[in-house]
Structure 1
Amino acid sequence: MGLMDVLGGLTGPKAPKSGDPLMDALLPMMRKGGAIGSLGGLLGKFTSAGLGGQANSWVGTGDNEPLSPDDVEQALGAFEVDRIADAAGLTRDEAKNGLASMIPGLVDKVSPGGSLPTGDLGAVMKGFDFGPILSA
């Protein structure tokens, strides 16, 4: 099940927007069939890029380890970063910087108690406050 399935279709045609173009560009890529595919898919990209310790810290209950813009590009690849940047109307560097500050908080927020979501979080995500993630 992809993150967007878990979030109850947060970015579907009638879904509310987060108010942040970068978040609105990233989340559809995390839908089932999207370029990233799921929360597990996102974490897998960072693990495969040698950044598993950082990714695990975002899921765990301790402090979130930071992510650099270059780490984002290493894990997601230049093509996906460019796609996100284009969809958000940003430069590649702006997208990398924004994703680096946003991804740890996003993963942390959707993995309360230190575990990945296993069921439908649609009810939990209603009224989800993106503010802390977007201002990180």
Structure 2
Amino acid sequence: MGLAEGSRNASNALGFIRTTEGHLNELTSILQRSQSVAVQSWVGTEANEPITSPEVVTALGEENLAEIAEKTGADSGALAAYVADQLPVLIDQISPDGQITSDPAVLDQAYTEFENKAPFTATARIGMAAVRPAEFIILQFTQEVGQG
């Protein structure tokens, strides 16, 4: 691996593991701008609308889902089903008042609960860095939904 590739991987990893208030506010903004009523409901204070496995595949794209599955050590189908079932719960937990929290204790508890039930390993590899798969999946999902 060359220096440029290593630098790019490190930069990508830092982008995924940042949990600053500004970054979390951006996540809130992406979720709230989403065209999906379901996604908006997860952040809002009303009941969570469901999402299906095929909608997860559509939102992420098959290639991105396969990449996430590879990085987390999961089967793509099991990962899509799990994300469809548990991502609304996770987003709801980290946005108790209709805004994504920056409280590390709330984030850690929500991520841990998400990861404890998951069909993947406890860490994902982004370049040379290990990151929490819950955060990685949230960011991948919201980036794709936010671009849609």
TM-score, structure 2 normalization: 0.53
CA-based RMSD of the aligned residues comes to 3.3
- Between the two proteins, the alignment pairs up a number of residues equal to 100
SS of equivalent to 1:6? coil
Among 77, 92, 104, the alignment partner of 1:122 is 104
Percent identity, aligned pairs only? 28
Among 31, 37, 48, the alignment partner of 1:43 is 31
Post-superposition offset of 1:40: 4.4
Give the 5 Å matches for 1:3-82: 4-6=17-19, 39-40=27-28, 43=31, 47=34, 50=35, 52-82=36-66
Among 82, 86, 94, the alignment partner of 1:98 is 82
Which structure is larger by alpha-carbon Rg, 1 or 2?
2
Could you say which structure has the higher strand fraction? 2
List runs of 5+ in structure 2 lacking aligned partners: 1-14, 119-148
Indicate the structure whose relative CO is greater, using CA pairs within 8 Å and at least 6 residues apart.
2
Could you say which structure has the higher helix fraction? 2
Cα shift readout 1:13-47 (whole Å, capped 9, x = no counterpart): xxxxxxxxxxxxxxxxxxx7xxxxx6348637x93
1:22: which partner in 2?
A: none
Amino acid in structure 1 at the alignment position of 2:31: L
TM-score, structure 1 normalization: 0.57
List runs of 5+ in structure 1 lacking aligned partners: 9-31, 33-37
